[in-house]
Amino acid sequence: MSSDFSLEPGPEEAGIVCDCCGTRSTTVHGFVYKSGDAFALYYAGWSHQHPERGVTMAIATGEWAEGSGPQDRTSIGLEARPTATEIQFTVVGPEQSPWGETPLFGRMLSRDRAKASPSMKSTLDVAELIARDDPRVRAVLGTS
């Protein structure tokens, strides 16, 4: 990954209550910059009671300048799970993502369209950055 990327963690909030265990999920937001310019916005969420589910992410890339809107951005949904040697990322579609219909993010691509998208590589680069540099996500994935 290029060292031109930097991450700024944003707010954290308690999310929905789990049907099976009654605990709340956690959602965090953050921003990614490339060479100092806005590059991506992300949401990441998990349940501490279900570490086997890993972290769900939605990463939106595209235009963030004043006057731009959701039509200028695309989002891709991912699930991140730790293995003994790495973090594995799986692309998910909008129907599997808690943020499949997030107006600020723009249209979330289907799994097949995301995998074929020219923005897939940069989205995975951003996901790796989040797993490494957002301390909240890093703690859940065990990448500390």
* Sign (positive or negative) of CA dihedral 8, 11, 16, 22: positive
Instruction: Read off the pLDDT of residues 98-124 as tens digits, 9 standing for 90 and up.
Output: 899 888 888 899 999 999 999 999 999
Instruction: Read off the pLDDT of residues 27-69 as tens digits, 9 standing for 90 and up.
Output: 999 999 999 999 999 999 988 777 777 899 999 998 898 899 8
Q: What integer pLDDT is reported at residue 144 of this predicted model?
A: 58
Residues 56 and 43: their CA atoms lie apart, in Å, by: 8
As a whole number of Å, the CA-based R_g of the chain is 14
Which of 7-21, 23-37, 76-90, 98-112 has the least mean pLDDT? 7-21
13-25 average pLDDT score: 73
Length in residues, the chain: 144
Q: How high is the mean pLDDT of the chain?
A: 89
Residues 96 and 111: their CA atoms lie apart, in Å, by: 10
Specify whether the CB–CB gap between 43 and 77 falls below 8 A: no
71-97 average pLDDT score: 93
Q: Which of the two residues, 130 and 143, has the higher pLDDT score?
A: 130
Residues 38 and 21: their CA atoms lie apart, in Å, by: 38
Confidence grade of residue 130 (pLDDT, cut at 50, 70, 90): very high
Q: Could you state, in order of their start, the residue ranges of all structural domains in the chain?
A: 5-141
Residue 134 has pLDDT above 70, yes or no: yes
